Structure 1
Amino acid sequence: MANGGSNGRKLLITVLYMVAVCSAVPISDLLDRASQHSDKLHSLSTTLSHELDSHFPPVGRMIMPRPAVCHTSSLQTPSDKEQALQVPESDLLSLARSLLQAWVDPLGVLSSSANTLPHPAQSKIINKIQELQEHSKSLGDGLNILSGKMDQAAQTISSLPYRGGGNDGQDRISKLTKFNFLLSCFRRDSHKIDSFLKVLRCRAAKLQPHLC
């Protein structure tokens, strides 16, 4: 029992040390790290989408919902880089954090659905989904630290609940279509997150807009 208490204190000291170290890191360096994670996140989702496309039946494309049905579509975000450059830094970080938080549960759904996905590259897909979850967690932790260095607006996270995890369909095409649609929504949002963080990194470096 005493040993458990000692281990608990050591863990607490380690966590506090890491928080202190991260708090001392300049915003520009934190944004560099966050951008690396977001870039990897979008790259992984793109690679995974291409993997799925290789065995996605044409009829699935015809019945797949439009992007407007994605559970994050209600969040008002800049439509391009020019608009993103006009958004205050704290609000832009809040948007990135809101999108990332909205994918905690859906990524879990993708992970569980991948275990029964009727696709010849199933094992590779399972591994890549796990990588997405790991990078999302790491990025989320980094953005939480970043938000603490900015004003109150950066602390705000919009609620974007996901309610589509109940039934993934019984037939092969239904399963593939639902999985592909959910992944396409994530790919779209990971691109937004990556774009917002790159704009923030650019502005932190005080570069001219045309260089961003």
Structure 2
Amino acid sequence: MDRMHMTVMQQCVWVLLLWPNIFAVGTPIDCREDPANLSRCPTISQEKLLDRVIHHAELIYRVSEESCSLFEEMFIPFPLRLQSNQGGYACITKALLIPSSKSEIQQISDKWLLHSVLMLVQSWIEPLVYLQMTLERYDHAPDMLLNKTKWVSEKLISLEQGVVVLIKKMLDEGTLATTLTEQALLQYDVQPEMLESVMRDYTLLSCFKKDAHKMEAFLKLLKCRQTDKYNCA
């Protein structure tokens, strides 16, 4: 009974923490009710849709940052925290043709800004589903971490939907498929030793946090170009 009460209390705390965000992102870019022709989102103006997509990306980055910090505190010894991206722990989106330096980002077109965001979003949908499943097998994973991961996974799909509609509105074209290799996704079927598994999950969260920040930055740069094209350093 005590365990049940603690779980309910944790869930209540989680709802209260997300209360402003639930109403902020509950309906803005979720077009999944009509996936065949996206009839709902095209009624939103391009400017308003871009603002909502940016807000969505901001929230995803914020929660991903919180999730990574919580996982780190719970499961990663301090000496290992700097090793997550060394050796064999490479980010799964490393193979994508995403601009990384400031000069590259400034030079790419609006089209490639949007397609870069879409590639990042689509590349993370399946790995985050994997992460949800593997975190549920942890003996002491707090409900807050599980809830945050689930929330981000769901909102990432909504963000994908919004970016797809934004591409159609701004560029009047279809979308590009991601170049993430099948081998990169199949790596999650391997069952490693416990420490390796924990470090791999930590790397996954760390890499997603970085990519979520890129999504937010690319979208904000796009917004800047729409309003002040020559002053977006």
Question: Could you list the per-position Cα deviations for residues 22-54 of structure 1 after superposition, in whole angstroms to 9, with x for gaps in the alignment?
Answer: 213222211101001111111111001111121
Residue 82 of structure 1: CA displacement?
4.7
Asked whether 1:25 is paired with 2:35, we answer: no
Distance in 1, Cα, partners of 2:43 & 2:172: 19
Partner of 1:70: 91
Partner of 1:128: 148
Q: 1:62 to 1:79 in 2, by over 3 A?
A: closer
**3-state SS of paired residue (1:69):** coil
Distance in 1, Cα, partners of 2:171 & 2:60: 26
Asked whether 1:111 is paired with 2:129, we answer: no
Contact 2:63 2:148 in 1 (8 A): yes
Partner of 1:11: none
Asked whether 1:164 is paired with 2:187, we answer: yes
* Residues paired across the two proteins, number: 196
Partner of 2:78: 58
Asked whether 1:47 is paired with 2:47, we answer: no
Asked whether 1:85 is paired with 2:106, we answer: yes
Q: 1:72 to 1:91 in 2, by over 3 A?
A: same
Q: TM (normalized to structure 2)?
A: 0.74
Q: Which amino acid aligns with 1:177?
A: M
Distance in 2, Cα, partners of 1:181 & 1:118: 19
Q: 1:89 to 1:62 in 2, by over 3 A?
A: closer
Task: Let me know the Cα RMSD of the aligned residues.
Answer: 2.7
The structure 2 residue matched to 1:155, chosen from 159, 175, 182, is 175
Question: Could you list the per-position Cα deviations for residues 185-207 of structure 1 after superposition, in whole angstroms to 9, with x for gaps in the alignment?
Answer: 11111111111111111112235
Partner of 1:140: 160
Contact 2:119 2:178 in 1 (8 A): yes
Question: Could you list the per-position Cα deviations for residues 56-78 of structure 1 after superposition, in whole angstroms to 9, with x for gaps in the alignment?
Answer: 12354365343972121012323
The structure 2 residue matched to 1:190, chosen from 198, 206, 212, is 212
Residue 80 of structure 1: CA displacement?
4.4
Contact 1:94 1:153 in 2 (8 A): no
Partner of 2:6: none
Distance in 1, Cα, partners of 2:95 & 2:199: 22
Percent sequence identity is 26
Q: TM (normalized to structure 1)?
A: 0.80
Q: 1:46 to 1:32 in 2, by over 3 A?
A: same
Contact 1:46 1:187 in 2 (8 A): yes
Unmatched 5+ residue regions in structure 2? 1-32
Q: Which moved more, 1:50-59 or 1:64-73?
A: 64-73
Q: Which amino acid aligns with 1:187?
A: K
Q: 1:25 to 1:82 in 2, by over 3 A?
A: farther
Distance in 2, Cα, partners of 1:198 & 1:37: 12
Unmatched 5+ residue regions in structure 1? 1-13
Q: Which amino acid aligns with 2:163?
A: L
